[in-house]
Amino acid sequence: MKKLKIGVLVSGTGTNLQSIIDNIEKGELPAEIAIVISNVEGAYALERAEKHNIKTTVIEHKGYKSREEFEKVLIEVLKKEGAGLVCLAGFMRLLSPFFLNTFKYRVMNIHPALLPSFPGVHAQKQAFDYGVKVSGCTVHFVDEGTDTGPIILQEAVKVLDDDTEESLSKRILEKEHLLYSKAINLFAEGKLEIIRRKVLISNDK
């Protein structure tokens, strides 16, 4: 079976990128990272990729007059590298309908909360400050809203009485590293089907 080629978009340290790399190298994820693209020069995620001989490039959004111009270049590079799935790993830019229609239901993201609760930035802090008893993480397809796309997988993390925002965030991140690769694996095996906004997982394919 032909391996799924992934394009990963990053802006920061890239811990979720590292977990994907590790799971591929362990043979647990039948995929190949074709390209890692950062919109920020010097992002540590690029260094992570380069240590594993993965192709990287920097496309700074500040160098373009419009979001569409920036995304046209992103699309060109991703298509050139044959990316069948685009994974966001700490990519701090909202993607426009122009980009999302080009890769319809082929853009995936992970969020450190149980969506639809606590979308947007600082989700762990939002959940912690609200006083929830259970938090977690969500892998979803990206749509035009902020963390509103169809949910693929979720994993719950119990909030302990003596938790801090930092300790809760650390435990959620551990779950993220497992869940993201699991969702990518399901995509690679052709086991995900979207009906309206519900993602069905097939055991037959």
What positions carry a catalytic annotation? Answer: 111
Residue 198 bridge partners (DSSP): 195
What is the Cα–Cα distance from 87 to 107, expressed in whole angstroms?
6
Amino acid at the residue 47: E
Backbone φ and ψ for 86, nearest 5 degrees, come out as: -110, 125
19 sits in which H/E element: helix 15-25
> Tell me, what DSSP letter sits at residue 82?
T
Cis peptide before 150 (omega within 30 of 0): no
What is the Cα–Cα distance from 153 to 102, expressed in whole angstroms?
23
For residue 136, the SS3 value is strand
What is the Cα–Cα distance from 23 to 205, expressed in whole angstroms?
22
Strand pairing category for 151-158 and 134-141:
antiparallel
